[in-house]
Structure 1
């Protein structure tokens, strides 16, 4: 998750402090439509798997907690 948080911080240099795991990244405009595909690329790189955009919803990207659960936690 450090890489994800660092990427968000890089895209939002005015952001002060850490991002709360339950903060709505979209409502807070920390991820916008221009950066969305780059964000998906990052998640694919970190997870080592591709993300099928037909199998996800915007809510899968809404918070760091949901991103971790959906894309970065191995299915057990």
Structure 2
């Protein structure tokens, strides 16, 4: 699952982005990758490991909901539909 969020465009500064995606790892677990920053510049990346897909997906949706509350909008979503 992959979700790309972005703040509305403004004349004052470039929009911010927040990219979330799940990746299966080699140890039969899942990694939640989070990347954020200003559009057009390198961002920060954080990785969190989860034993099951369900727990990783729950964390992804929680981060998505937090960013929606901060004014971000979903620009792109790929994969399973949220619960």
Normalised by the size of structure 1, how large is the TM-score?
0.30
Instruction: Identify the structure with the greater strand proportion.
Output: 2
Instruction: Identify the structure with the greater helix proportion.
Output: 1
Q: Which has the larger radius of gyration?
A: 2
